Structure 1
């Protein structure tokens, strides 16, 4: 995909695209969500505005892809048609380790697969991640969810903060075992580093926090508790260069997105109690993807940006439609999320347990759903099922 042969946005259109498509994810926090940024995005329906703008750009310039000149950084390429999105994500020549991404991930997972540029090493790290993450046991996930979520009330109110605290206990047990259940300091350190990662290469590294985080993480990994991802990682062959331990921070980081997806899916299920739970989880990540922008570096050095809310809603529409085509909420192709099945199963297990003995009333959602939904502000009225 060469920028030279593609339609080029005008200067006014480029300014609008930069302001309405690229700026909102940065405002909200790409690696760690900022409450104020998410609130502002929901207030302005930022992702909905971006989606509508991209639809207008496609009507004006054609199927594209569309080149957006950005001063000081070279051209940005926006695929607008599903076929081009699929082609970009399927082509290994379009590399996922962009400058912005490696700068961000270097703060807490410099050896993670997404920050790896060497093709051979990246392939080995990718295979390791897939082997460990693909072996999730729904029974184990369900039991952990049952044990932890029973601590939430069966009547009263449910807030994001209450749900998130329980979700992180579940996440630490799934990844590291029961011994990590109450290690809130580990999560705090990870989130401190993720906050720095929001600034990518513009902020220096907090090496003291990262060193403490890695030591604490290593202690949990050395236990390799049966049933945990840590145990599967320990049992999976890996050469030293692969740095198996360095893959784990991304698994923990991704657990935040699982919680957000599950909590937003609860809003859909509160409005549609008869809807299937797993399909509602998939609708949650389609309608409100936790990764709003997918970046790739093209062979000629240009950056390709896939706007996931736009792509997903072009695929399945703006209404709640269980079973609709999902678009690319977990990316696609050679860099698709290796933990997509684990994420879906865990979110489904959490919601299944929440709904087993409870009924929820949430905010009234319109039929045409907004492009942005503030999970921090979601509050549910809870009562025991059958009452």
Structure 2
């Protein structure tokens, strides 16, 4: 080597000690045991909660590696793990710049990987969709309030049916509002068991998305626009399905939040405490170097951003304000789809709390000791009426109002409710017709998954037709 050559070849990442591997692996496994914190808190042993144990394990690895990313071996796989939020973002950004980042998956507490849609930027800014977010959120909020049970709670299935329709309206336009199949295919694609299955389902998703690509898009830009729609639909759906219930729950334990800001603050706090992408795995497809560290092809980078944020808070105090959209997209760059998702979630919370007050029936939330995890599916969330609610009725230009707290027929004639039932029957019949028409398309003949989708379409069409018949009979009974 030339005596004047001071360059140094990149070195291998540091290896975590065997005990550290065990601690990190245990921390990963403990995330799925929700009851583990209760005994520790009851006994006043806060250091033995999942949050504190995880923080201690990561702090130990950070000390032993001087803060550099470390290679850790866990029950869920062997990973290169950055040990600060800044390093995680910089490492992934370098991989992106080097063209070395492959598939990205979310790592669930059970260790299951959910492949994410690729981050894609639309040529038309998705922020331009703001104009329809507020009105769509208000209409779908009315629908959510209308499907509450007698105790004011919302069944999870009903919640997701409405919020996914809202996501489709926002991202695909009103023409995609009733296209439940696109959401079904998206869910199936994200839950693919292997790469071959994922490729098949991703192709089916692309075919289903293509009709919603804006007219006039050039042939070269079609793929980019379709990918942007897929990514936006995934991110917005996740925010509405998961983050909005969490935000409503947090609103109930933070009564001092200003009324004008509580929707925005509730969503931001939910994304900070319970980021939908708490841990992501990034596949590296080509070697590259980052700050003197060689990253080989085949490496999987584990970005446990929720843990790292908590670790940074524990060591440096509470951080300053942070863009909440970073909790929704795994890309190292700003994401317009994630910003749109935050807006949609905020507007839905605002629309719901305008007419009802959220109440958490289960679990019991202690403002001084909020749970480390709060899955939306675990929430017994009620929306207690506080004022008149607009009726979402697409058959009329104007919106009527009713006060659900006054009883089913207070102040209105049977003819009024007969008209509402008849309008519902017409919408259900039209929905059934569109589903059956879609099922007749030849594209479902290509493989077994397509045939399965066709059968689900026909079954759903049949249910809608039966419901339309029941609604029409109810209307006739009210008029006689």
Q: Structures share a fold, TM > 0.5?
A: yes
Q: Is the 8 A contact 1:141 1:174 kept in 2?
A: yes
Contact 2:239 2:328 in 1 (8 A): no
Map residues 165-204 of structure 1 onto 2, 5 A cutoff: 165-196=161-192, 199-201=193-195, 204=197
State yes or no: 1:373 paired with 2:365. no
- Report 1 or 2 for greater relative contact order, CA contacts < 8 Å, sequence distance ≥ 6: 1
1:349 matched to which residue of 2?
A: 347
Instruction: For 1:72 and 1:42, locate their aligned partners in 2 and report how far apart those are by CA, in whole Å.
Output: 19
User: Could you give the per-residue CA deviations for residues 129-170 of structure 1, whole angstroms, max 9, x where no partner exists?
Assistant: 264323231x42110011111022376113433322211110
Q: Is the 8 A contact 1:258 1:343 kept in 2?
A: yes
Instruction: Please point out which of 81, 90, 100 is paired with 1:87.
Output: 90
Contact 2:206-2:226 at 8 Å conserved across structures: no
- Structure 1 residues 99 and 251 mapped into 2: Cα distance closer, same or farther (>3 Å)? closer
Greater shift after overlay, 128-137 or 255-264?
128-137
The within-5 A match list for 1:101-250 is 101=105, 113-114=118-119, 126=120, 128-129=121-122, 131-137=124-130, 139-153=131-145, 156-196=152-192, 199-201=193-195, 204-205=197-198, 207=200, 213-219=205-211, 221=212, 230-231=213-214, 234=215, 239-240=220-221, 242-250=223-231
Question: What is the CA–CA distance in structure 2 between the aligned matches of 1:59 and 1:158, rounded to whole Å?
Answer: 47
Once superposed, what is the RMSD of the aligned Cα atoms? 3.8
Counterpart residue number, 1:282: 268
Structure 2 vs 1, CA of residues 359 and 94 (structure 1 numbering), >3 Å: closer, same or farther?
A: farther
TM-score normalised according to structure 1 size: 0.72
What's the offset of the Cα at 1:347?
A: 0.4
Shift of 1:331: 5.5
- Provide the C-alpha distance between the structure 2 equivalents of 1:382 and 1:236, rounded to a whole number of angstroms: 43
**Aligned partners of 1:323 and 1:268: how far apart in 2?**
20
Q: Which residue of 1 aligns with 2:247?
A: 265
* Length-normalised TM-score, structure 2: 0.59
Q: CA offset at residue 242 of structure 1?
A: 4.4
In the alignment, the residues of structure 2 paired with residue 99 and residue 184 of structure 1 have an alpha-carbon distance, to the nearest angstrom, of: 26
Whole-angstrom distance in 2 between the partners of 1:322 and 1:64: 21
- Counterpart of 1:78? 81
SS at match of 1:98: strand
Separation in structure 2 between the aligned mates of residue 50 and residue 311 of structure 1, nearest angstrom: 10
Contact 1:175 1:252 (8 Å CA) reproduced? yes
279, 301, 304: which one aligns with 1:304:
301
SS at match of 2:125: helix
